[in-house]
Amino acid sequence: MLQALASAEPGQAEQLARQIRHIWDASGSASADYLLRRIRRAFETEDMGAALEHATALVDHAPGFAQGWAERARVYYMLDLYGPALGDLEQVLALNPQHFDAIMGLAVMLDEMGKPADAYEAYLQVKAIHPHQAGLTEALQRLEPQARGQEL
């Protein structure tokens, strides 16, 4: 499916991306699935404290489940805790190097941290996997002059 995603048309790409995310959400453990649902419910109610507790429990319970790390990285990001978020994204990518949402999160954080060249390279990695990821084209166009330099 990842190969199909790289060459899909925009409408088909979003459908494929949803299917891939659904597969990534499947932990194989009822308790891990329960914790994942609790994290997402906490997000819906904007209870970041509960989201962090559930995400930490999920990572502790299932350290080999990349999506648990991705969810906790998202919580840390929402709490403006970039260091822990980056550490968790590193774990996601160690477990699933093709996790385009994690790479996109990394790119966004690098961008926000004022590292345009690094952010640009991360966005290019996303483009290789999911060229129709929301916000990707705009980010690449905005950062290209800073990352590649301007022609004279």
Q: For 48-107, write each residue's pLDDT tens digit.
A: 999 999 999 999 999 999 999 999 999 999 999 999 999 999 999 999 999 999 999 999
CATH for 41: 1.25.40.10
The pLDDT, as a whole number, for residue 150 is 55
**pLDDT of res. 147:** 83
In a domain, 7, yes or no: no
Least Cα distance to 115 among 150, 86, 89 occurs for 86
**For residue 16, is it within any domain?**
no
**What is the mean pLDDT of the segment spanning 115-136?**
95
- For residue 22, being part of any structural domain is answered with no
Average pLDDT over residues 127-142: 95
Does a structural domain hold residue 88? yes
Distance CA 29, CA 19 (A): 19
pLDDT at 152 over 70: no
Question: Which pLDDT band holds residue 115 (cuts at 50, 70, 90)?
Answer: very high
Q: What confidence score (pLDDT) does residue 151 get? A: 53
- Tell me, yes or no, whether 89 and 126 share the same domain: no
Q: How far apart are CA 35 and CA 68, in angstroms?
A: 9
Residues 90 and 136 in one domain: no
Average pLDDT over residues 122-147: 94
Does residue 91 share a domain with residue 36?
Answer: yes
Answer yes or no: do 102 and 70 share one domain: no
**Domain, as residue range, for 138:** 98-152
Average pLDDT of the chain to the nearest whole number: 94
The number of domains in the chain is 2
pLDDT tier, 146 (very low <50, low <70, confident <90, very high otherwise): confident
Give the Cα separation of 68 and 56 in Å (integer).
Answer: 8
Q: Which residues contact 1 (CB under 8 A, 6 or more apart)?
A: 16, 19, 20, 23
Both 62 and 48 in one domain: the answer is yes
Please indicate, yes or no, whether residues 118 and 80 belong to a single structural domain of this protein.
no
Distance of alpha carbon 88 from alpha carbon 66, whole angstroms: 9
Identify whether 72 is part of a domain: yes
Task: Name which of 18, 99, 13 is nearest 5 in CA terms.
Answer: 13
